[in-house]
A and B are shown apart, each in its own frame.
Chain A
Amino acid sequence: MKKVFYVALALVLALVLLASCSSYGETLNKVSDLLKQDYSKLTVSVTSVRDGLELTALFNVEFGEKTTVNYTVKEMSKLNIEGGNPDSYINEYSGSAVVENGKLTENGKETDLPIEGLNFGEFNFSERNFSDIEATATSLKAKVTDPKGFAGNNSFVASDMKLTALFSAEAISELTVEYTSQNGANVLTVYRFE
């Protein structure tokens, strides 16, 4: 009789385990974990649109012993009364940087920026930060109800934030986050991993 009790107890425990495996939390945790894996390439595209003006920052990152970052940025040109200003009011520039041993070298010159001193949080995929979650084995779509919590940054203000992730069992392939900034800009951030 006691054996039957213990087997039944084991079954209940297993069912509890299975039930916990099937929640959205598992998918969110999976995406969070996949983001922490090593990848050989990463493309980050940031687009900000306000009043019809589109500004962009594009970063192509190749990881290795020396990690290379090729970047292209389109920003509004600011004017210097002393001259030497860009020809256009929107200035596009690009460059290449290498990160090695935590130090950044751009165009052959080591930067004096305190890279190692900078510290940011990471995206928080806790289920309480989301609503309207749609998850399959390879995709996740959700509204981000708490952008501050998701960004891990209490000073970050955004609205209408949505997140989409595409992934396989082994890797995340694409992560998209779009939102409206506190200034009213429509922001789209796309990560592509390889």
Chain B
Amino acid sequence: MTQRKKLSLVMSCVLILVLACAMILPFANRSVAIAEPPTVSDRESWVNPYDGSYYDNLNTDKRGTAFRSDLANLITTTHKHQTTYDELKTVYKTSDADPNKSGNVIWFYTGTSAQYTGDMDSGNYPTNREHVWPKQAGAAFPEKSQAGSDAHHLRPLNTQLNSTRNNHQFGEVAQTTSNRVYQSGTARNYGTTDPDTWCYLSGNYFYPAKGYRGATARILFYVQTRWGDVSKLSFVLGEGYSKTIGDIETLMKWHLQEPPTDQEIRRNEVVFGIQGNRNPFIDHPEYAEMIYCNDNQSYSNTLKNVVAKYGSYLNNNVPPIPDDDPTALTLSVSSLQLKVGESSQQITVTAVPQGANNSVVWSTTDERVATVANGIVRAVGTGTATITATSTAVSSVKATLTVTVSAPSVTSLAITPNPLTLTQGGTRQLSVTAYPAGADNSVSWSSGNDNVATVSPTGLVTAVGEGTAIITATSNENGNIKATVTVTVTSTSQPPVVEDVQPFIDSVTAIESTQTLEERYDALNKAINLYNALSNEGKQRVTQQYNALVEAVQAYNSQVAPYNDDLHEATEFASQATALTISAVLLALFAIVTKKLWR
């Protein structure tokens, strides 16, 4: 064989092997159907279909830990075959098969039907094994054995959603756009157009789609009962971590609101055939309340209230009360009288019937009069506005209150011009400003020395004789609020007073008393505006205060510059994502921010 032929043979072999290697690489799985969550029966129409003998020897008169112990013993001793983590790949083909589409499995939490070959984490829409009770990297229980490979526990799920759900606890969060979980990081959600079919995530809580909330609870009840003694697993109110999980109050509510679905029942049968044990909370939903309402834990009484509200599965499935949609709302006040600048106490919302969802969105008919946030009304300007609380559950259910905003109480007065110099016989009209803005400025005028100057009821000062006199303005609303002006009467003409510079001087003085950056900014801005409104003569009279203002402005700008520098640096860093195909745009983006941020 020639050297060329030998080399050719080697290269051919390499090529064949590399091609073979490439063929086993995962291909994109594009067969993903729109999610079709299971129909959630209402409790009145739901009928328990289980009529087997698996539970015949249980003493169902027991409650709490005693009953849990018996149940744990049953589902442990009958757990003849413990599936391996790897074996689940095959189990899912039957346990989670989509009955309407051959070759597909149904992802948990979303109901999405996705083509499934048995490979994990491959393709565009890959599937992997979700530990509904987070394994917490093996801290909660072994990652790939015991609870970590139990087919009743681990469910097929989109790889990315599995990562997104991470170790989050279960709870209800606001169904807002920002909380919605999107598919593969895109704007596509997992469900249909019904917001109930979407998953949401906020803080430490994950909120599965409708149809998977009750199922989630029943899986966790199973895990706690089957593996709780082995791995010390328990429930908590609110957030749990690792060996504890919550929120049990919400989980019990979901369990009561969403009876076992056809998917769960079908799956329970398949896994029963493989493992030999069953998820008893699917066959007998009443077992959950029999155990967890009576096991003398910190949550037990709370769960009794939940069962009372949403209906017990015991006693032949007594129908629960209807859903918690309110039929009406009432507010803690029907009207408010506020002064500008004042805020109300928190207004509480009561939903009818008792216990119904009282979550509302607040709105106002006139933000120039009053604003509202979180049930607290803030008076902005004089007038009348209607505040409306609209139920988030039923948008047609509303409650309103009327807020009447009047001028604020006067806290101080200022007289202009001040000081005042007049020549004998001269007159000058005084004006008075009440603070805060909009407050009643009606006053009574008086002179401390009528031999020097008199003042009319309207504030007209007449210079009578040489000397000084104190003119006082007393608020008609509050006799304790006064302002004075010193009037100097001369016999010869004095330069006229140009204008009142006192408000500017006061505004500069007020800067020192500010605490926060926001207060300081507002005080400085006010002083700047007052200064710029002065005439040239006025500005010459306040040189000292102006210099102080300039110094304060420079200090403020130096203080806030690092905050903008942080954003500057972060944006510059962000523009470096790539310098190739989209470089022009990212550079432009940087230019825009540069221009705006560091002007």
Contact B575 A120, beta carbon cutoff 8 Å: yes
A4-47 with Cβ < 8 A to chain B: 6-7, 9-11, 13-14, 17-18, 21, 35-39, 42, 44, 46-47
CA distance A21 to B597 in the complex (A): 44
Take A46-B571, A71-B589, A89-B517 as given contacts and tell me if A181 and B121 are in contact as well, using a CB distance cutoff of 8 Å.
Answer: no
Take A46-B570, A137-B122 as given contacts and tell me if A81 and B13 are in contact as well, using a CB distance cutoff of 8 Å.
Answer: no
Total CB contacts across the A-B interface at under 8 A? 240
Query: Which of A67, A81, A158, A187 is B553 in contact with, Cβ under 8 Å?
Result: A81
Is B557 part of the contact surface with A, judged by Cβ < 8 Å?
yes
Contact A115 B588, beta carbon cutoff 8 Å: yes
Contact A83 B578, beta carbon cutoff 8 Å: no
Shortest Cβ gap from A1 to chain B (Å): 12
Shortest Cβ gap from B97 to chain A (Å): 23
Take A11-B17, A83-B528 as given contacts and tell me if A115 and B596 are in contact as well, using a CB distance cutoff of 8 Å.
Answer: no
Q: Which residues of B contact A57 (CB under 8 A)?
A: 567, 570-571, 574, 593
Closest residue of chain A to B558, judged by CB?
A: A78
Is A160 part of the contact surface with B, judged by Cβ < 8 Å?
no
Query: Which of A3, A9, A113, A189 is B595 in contact with, Cβ under 8 Å?
Result: A113
Query: Which of B6, B17, B557, B567 is A6 in contact with, Cβ under 8 Å?
Result: B6
Q: Which residues of B contact A65 (CB under 8 A)?
A: none
Query: Which of B9, B557, B588 is A104 in contact with, Cβ under 8 Å?
Result: B588
Q: Which residues of B contact A59 (CB under 8 A)?
A: 589
Number of interface residues of A (CB under 8 A): 90
Query: Which of A10, A50, A90, A191 is B17 in contact with, Cβ under 8 Å?
Result: A10
CA distance A5 to B528 in the complex (A): 89
Contact B564 A75, beta carbon cutoff 8 Å: yes
CA distance A3 to B26 in the complex (A): 33
Is B529 part of the contact surface with A, judged by Cβ < 8 Å?
yes
CA distance A24 to B97 in the complex (A): 33
Take A81-B553, A83-B532, A189-B570 as given contacts and tell me if A194 and B187 are in contact as well, using a CB distance cutoff of 8 Å.
Answer: yes
CA distance A110 to B529 in the complex (A): 33
Q: Which residues of B contact A39 (CB under 8 A)?
A: 582
Over the window 160-179 of chain B, the binary record of Cβ atoms lying under 8 Å from chain A Cβ atoms (1 yes, 0 no) is 10010000000000000000
Is B524 part of the contact surface with A, judged by Cβ < 8 Å?
yes
CA distance A47 to B566 in the complex (A): 9
Q: Which residues of B contact A78 (CB under 8 A)?
A: 557, 560-561, 564
Q: Which residues of A contact B524 (CB under 8 A)?
A: 79
Take A37-B581, A169-B124, A189-B570 as given contacts and tell me if A123 and B576 are in contact as well, using a CB distance cutoff of 8 Å.
Answer: yes
Over the window 145-169 of chain A, the binary record of Cβ atoms lying under 8 Å from chain B Cβ atoms (1 yes, 0 no) is 0000001110010100000001011
CA distance A59 to B560 in the complex (A): 23
CA distance A111 to B560 in the complex (A): 27
Is A121 part of the contact surface with B, judged by Cβ < 8 Å?
yes
Take A120-B576, A138-B126, A189-B570 as given contacts and tell me if A166 and B185 are in contact as well, using a CB distance cutoff of 8 Å.
Answer: yes
CA distance A132 to B310 in the complex (A): 46
Over the window 105-129 of chain A, the binary record of Cβ atoms lying under 8 Å from chain B Cβ atoms (1 yes, 0 no) is 0100001010100111111000000
CA distance A36 to B553 in the complex (A): 45
Shortest Cβ gap from B156 to chain A (Å): 15
Take A46-B571, A79-B524, A187-B570 as given contacts and tell me if A61 and B589 are in contact as well, using a CB distance cutoff of 8 Å.
Answer: yes
CA distance A136 to B127 in the complex (A): 12
Over the window 564-588 of chain B, the binary record of Cβ atoms lying under 8 Å from chain A Cβ atoms (1 yes, 0 no) is 1111011111111111111111111
Is A133 part of the contact surface with B, judged by Cβ < 8 Å?
no
Shortest Cβ gap from A98 to chain B (Å): 9
Q: Which residues of B contact A18 (CB under 8 A)?
A: 21
Contact A191 B567, beta carbon cutoff 8 Å: no
Closest residue of chain A to B28, judged by CB?
A: A169
Contact B577 A35, beta carbon cutoff 8 Å: yes
CA distance A7 to B11 in the complex (A): 10
Q: Which residues of B contact A119 (CB under 8 A)?
A: 579
Take A11-B17, A17-B21, A104-B591 as given contacts and tell me if A137 and B159 are in contact as well, using a CB distance cutoff of 8 Å.
Answer: yes
Contact B580 A36, beta carbon cutoff 8 Å: yes
Q: Which residues of B contact A75 (CB under 8 A)?
A: 563-564, 567, 596-597
Contact A139 B580, beta carbon cutoff 8 Å: no
CA distance A21 to B26 in the complex (A): 14
Query: Which of B1, B123, B564, B582 is A63 in contact with, Cβ under 8 Å?
Result: B582
Shortest Cβ gap from B365 to chain A (Å): 23
Shortest Cβ gap from A38 to chain B (Å): 5
Is B10 part of the contact surface with A, judged by Cβ < 8 Å?
yes
Is B556 part of the contact surface with A, judged by Cβ < 8 Å?
yes
Contact B565 A183, beta carbon cutoff 8 Å: yes
Over the window 547-565 of chain B, the binary record of Cβ atoms lying under 8 Å from chain A Cβ atoms (1 yes, 0 no) is 0011001001100111111
CA distance A120 to B593 in the complex (A): 15
CA distance A192 to B255 in the complex (A): 36
Over the window 56-99 of chain A, the binary record of Cβ atoms lying under 8 Å from chain B Cβ atoms (1 yes, 0 no) is 11010101000101010101111111110101111001010101
CA distance A81 to B187 in the complex (A): 45
Is A142 part of the contact surface with B, judged by Cβ < 8 Å?
no
CA distance A194 to B188 in the complex (A): 11
Q: Which residues of B contact A158 (CB under 8 A)?
A: 573
Take A75-B564, A189-B570 as given contacts and tell me if A121 and B576 are in contact as well, using a CB distance cutoff of 8 Å.
Answer: yes
Is B272 part of the contact surface with A, judged by Cβ < 8 Å?
no
Query: Which of A35, A89, A137, A156 is B573 in contact with, Cβ under 8 Å?
Result: A156
Shortest Cβ gap from B19 to chain A (Å): 10
A170-191 with Cβ < 8 A to chain B: 170, 173-175, 177, 181, 183, 185, 187, 189, 191
Closest residue of chain A to B22, judged by CB?
A: A21
Contact B18 A17, beta carbon cutoff 8 Å: yes
Query: Which of B10, B121, B529, B593 is A138 in contact with, Cβ under 8 Å?
Result: B121
Q: Which residues of A contact B567 (CB under 8 A)?
A: 46, 48, 55-57, 73, 75
Question: Which B residues fall within an 8 A CB radius of A?
Answer: 1, 6, 9-10, 13-14, 17-18, 21, 26, 28, 121-124, 126, 159-160, 163, 184-187, 517-518, 520-522, 524-525, 528-529, 532, 549-550, 553, 556-557, 560-567, 569-597
A51-B563, A121-B579, A137-B121 are known; give 15 further A-B pairs, CB within 8 A: A9-B10, A10-B10, A36-B581, A47-B570, A57-B574, A73-B567, A75-B564, A79-B521, A83-B529, A102-B584, A120-B587, A121-B576, A122-B580, A138-B184, A152-B576
Q: List 22 A-B contacts (CB under 8 A).
A: A7-B9, A11-B17, A17-B21, A36-B578, A38-B582, A55-B563, A57-B570, A69-B592, A79-B524, A79-B525, A79-B553, A81-B553, A89-B522, A104-B592, A118-B587, A120-B579, A120-B586, A121-B579, A122-B578, A137-B122, A139-B163, A153-B573
Question: Which A residues fall within an 8 A CB radius of B?
Answer: 2-3, 6-7, 9-11, 13-14, 17-18, 21, 35-39, 42, 44, 46-48, 50-51, 53, 55-57, 59, 61, 63, 67, 69, 71, 73, 75-83, 85, 87-90, 93, 95, 97, 99, 102, 104, 106, 111, 113, 115, 118-123, 136-139, 151-153, 156, 158, 166, 168-170, 173-175, 177, 181, 183, 185, 187, 189, 191-192, 194
